[in-house]
Structure 1
């Protein structure tokens, strides 16, 4: 075993998805840091090889992790092979020892230059950290529309993901969905179901009239159309008119639409800043784009 950070007891572990002990250690650290874990996702069969944790362990105890997530996108029809680094975390008692730095160096060395785009999202507490590894801030833009039109009678109904038939129909629709966004995640059932079995479990709706599924959130006068899944490109205005409530005053999209007519743009204001590796301009620089909300890992 290689000696890491001058600590002969420290081990770098990878490809341990099916190891119950190490998976439990990752889940415990993730719950402690972010308030969720991956166990139900794993048990449902959605943890695939494209999700690659890279962890430091001593005496069976996980001390730090950074994961590489291999994702395929299309940008205006052009394929992009991307790697998103996520779930960067260290146990409180092990912070300040360079563990996250070591893992970031491992992943950057492995993936920089091996994909079309290496990127991550960072909260406001670590904005100064990632430039040390060659990442730079790229501003995202969200699309929105002030809403004053009258709501229409809806053809959308809630989807019960606990019902096996409804769940399978939804998964089938995900696999066949065509891009509704300029920067679109190639159909990725495992990642989408992580959200659908988690924070957006009650947010999925279906319309047999539109032959579409949508994911929406209502927050007072604001509605977020998180994503749309359909075999054809939809007219978003028609869908939105059936999803707003009587109190909706603004509709925000969780993606950059292919047809932006009727939408305004603004800089994304959230605690999730985009960083892209490398000094050279990339395909996402200088454009009014955002990574779809459901593509964040």
Structure 2
């Protein structure tokens, strides 16, 4: 039986490499470049059970500030929850959660996590409850000119976060540069485009345009953004954040759901979507 959980601050090189391999095998996520670039900061903490210096179960946690309708609230976002396939069902992740809660419940902060389909009952056992999140979209029809693709390096990506106004003003995060940079090293830099002095991050999926960010140091009219992205063949723009835009339609999300652990009430404002680029 493995000992009590350790944090990444206690990893040996072997345990660190084991974590990298484990995350890659479990989620297809490579943390190595992000780590080598110095982006694994104190804001991201892993709690792991190890066996002969191999990570066999893990829960990651990011402390950040969530801005909701102008009110700042610190919270813990949970991610990178994984257990070795041959050891599942032994209660290892539950042991880690109990240890984590013992360490941090006295902070009085809520916990939240993105829940994949089928695992909600496990998180409910840990004290989490579901908070539904809508998918936000607008239907469009147009023939706008395609935008200029922009090559972005790590420093430019960082400046986007530091210098841009919040593009999701009702619900956004601060103190989460490590997550913003993580998305850079996962390839989101390949989807940056520009019009005028505004940068946008989007992906096209058949007739659907998924919009992840609108980046500018000045206020941007989201109606103008929608018009600029209404390319021929695009029938809807789906927002991966909460836009400042009237007449946005809602439907049940296709991307799983959020689960919250807090004393009472909902965490995110009603009808809002948490920004994808702040998601661990």
The question of 1:143 aligning with 2:136 is answered: yes
Cα distance, 1:252–1:145 mapped onto 2, change above 3 Å:
same
Taking structure 1 as the reference length, the TM-score comes to 0.87
**CA–CA separation in structure 2 for the residues paired with 1:32 and 1:281:** 36
Q: Which residue of structure 2 aligns with residue 90 of structure 1?
A: 83
Partner of 1:266: 251
Q: After the TM superposition, which segments of 4 or more aligned residues of structure 1 sit over 6 Å from their partners?
A: none
Whether 2:262 is the aligned partner of 1:292: answer no
Pair 54,218 (structure 1): closer, same or farther in 2 beyond 3 Å? same
Among 70, 86, 90, which residue is 1:77 paired with? 70
Displacement after TM superposition at 1:177 (Å): 1.8
Question: Once the 2 structures are TM-superposed, how far is the Cα of residue 66 of structure 1 from its aligned partner?
Answer: 0.4
- CA 1:17–1:109 in structure 2 vs 1: closer, same or farther (change >3 Å)? closer
Q: Which residue in the other structure is 2:98 paired with? A: 105
Aligned-partner SS, 1:10: coil
Q: Of 14, 17, 37, which aligns to 1:21?
A: 14
How many residues matched? 279
Distance in 2, matches of 1:113 and 1:183, equals: 25
Other-structure match for 1:4: none
SS at match of 2:161: helix
Aligned in 2, Cα 1:214/1:49: closer, same or farther, shift over 3 Å? same
- Identify the residue that residue 158 of structure 1 maps to in structure 2: 149
Matched, 1:44 2:28: no
Report the Cα distance in structure 1 between the residues aligned to 2:125 and 2:155, rounded to whole angstroms. 44
Unaligned runs of at least 5 residues, structure 2? none
Given that 2:14 and 2:54 are in contact with CA atoms closer than 8 Å, whether structure 1 keeps it comes out as no
Paired position in structure 2 for 1:130: 123
Does the 8 Å contact 1:17/1:23 carry over to 2? no
The answer to whether the 8 A contact 2:143-2:232 is kept is yes
- Per-residue Cα deviation, 1:270-296 (whole angstroms, up to 9, x for no partner): 2x22110135113426x1012111121
